[in-house]
A and B are shown apart, each in its own frame.
Chain A
Amino acid sequence: MHRFIHLSVLLMGLFSATCSYGADAPQSAQMTPDSSWPLVEQPIEFPHNRHAKDMQIDCMYCHTYARRSAVAGIPPLKKCIGCHQSIESVRETPRIKKLFEYWEGSADGKIAAKTPMPWKKVHDLPDFVRFNHERHIKRFIEQQNRPTQEACGYCHGDVKELTVARRSKALSMGWCASCHEKDHPVTAAGGVSAGDQAYWYGFNKPVSSGSGGEVKAQGPNDCWHCHK
């Protein structure tokens, strides 16, 4: 019985520690990594630095779905081949040879032609969170004219310095809220009435606008935007 109680206390402690960790996540929207999550081994050690830094290729040239869809998508194999079939200089390097094995089939027959690349997931959100890439691209890149690498970097870190992508931001709710609360302050201007409803993130109650106006919350402060 005592053992059980000990264990419960331990679990409770651990659980609250994890929660508070999420809430206390660094409140910055910079590209610098907040922490380094484990490096995930990929089928090909894709050099983001070669593409994004040396070659200056726009993120959305390959992650083309980001501006059109909720998910950024992994570039289709054809995209890689489209360029690389005419880049003779690196055609015989080990990584590109491996890439072409997926497209043309491997000599030993283990990989059939046009097999999609089994990339490993690096960034992931729980199923009850609906993050929308398109909206963030619209806002930061199209409306505010920020550089693509900076805008993507808010959540993905400084990818141009990496080979394979590695998670460098918490991606927890508290971490998301840190931007949303800073950039969408709860003001009297427009939006849905907050009243005493749970229209803010539960961490910090929205402050009254001071001018005597009703407390209002803007769109992105609504639970429904991500949890639908």
Chain B
Amino acid sequence: MAKDIWVYIESREDGCRKASLEALTLGRSLADGLGEKLGALVLGAKTPEAIEQLKAYGADRVMALPETAAGGFTAESYGAAIAAGLGEAPRLLLLGNSSQGRELAPRLAARWDGGAVVDCTAIEAAAGKLIFTKPVYAGKAFVKQALSAQTIVASLRPNSVAALPAAGQGQEVSPAAPAEAPLHTVVKEILAQAGKRLELTEADIIVSGGRGMKGPENFPLLEELAAVLHGAVGASRAAVDAGWRDHSEQVGQTGKVVSPTLYIACGISGAIQHLAGMSSSKYIVAINTDAEANIFQVADYGIVGDLFQVVPALTAECRKIME
């Protein structure tokens, strides 16, 4: 029987990725429930602070792997390095459902002939078994799954649990072996987006615009509100298809599925595929001139009014509160 729970941690200069720490927190409670040890595994750029952070968030073991020969993230190289570093396939490997997590989970599951659950929102340990909850059709429905595989690899949707410090043994361990798989791809360069933007899927607050924004020139209104609230800017499919915003900002079934604490929809009517992508937000605000718009059916707070007047006023009010 495979044993131990490991969590793959993405770390950057400013510390461990929030989604990774959330996975670690969930890993801690599952390890306690199943009587397993919890390991944290970090690859590539890492700082002593990141290692200390992992100990503070409850890891019993911490393993650091060197950057691979690919020179950056490729699922093939990172998957091979993680498998070699661990030596034996664990009972459960958890990842944050980031670009890396959603590629690594199936890749490692296939390597270990195990099961994968990508983008789960909850995992419960009941009677020694794990039950995974996963949204399907962008959250229009949910499934609870049980897996009979010896090894399971699962990625956790950001904002599904709150990352919390916890007690763990915090022992640093060495990798079982270095990776030696042949590489078919290498990383040529990493192009950072102009201006450091908050990732949509990890943002606590999202200010989103749709057709009602009337054009790309009006989005600075939303950017300003998002900046005051330390949030990110999103867009509906209509705004993206019109070429006003980049596809990376699209919220919905053919874009990103988000669950922030607060989602402010400005000039968005609320097509089914958009609602699917943001309905799991904790609070939804809708600002729209059309009182009959679908978006009001799911909004906790609705403003029937002209966003061009309401949003700047709201920005000013929020600035007062945030100060």
Q: Do A and B bind each other?
A: no
Binding site for A on B (CB under 8 A): none
Residues of A within 8 A of B (CB): none
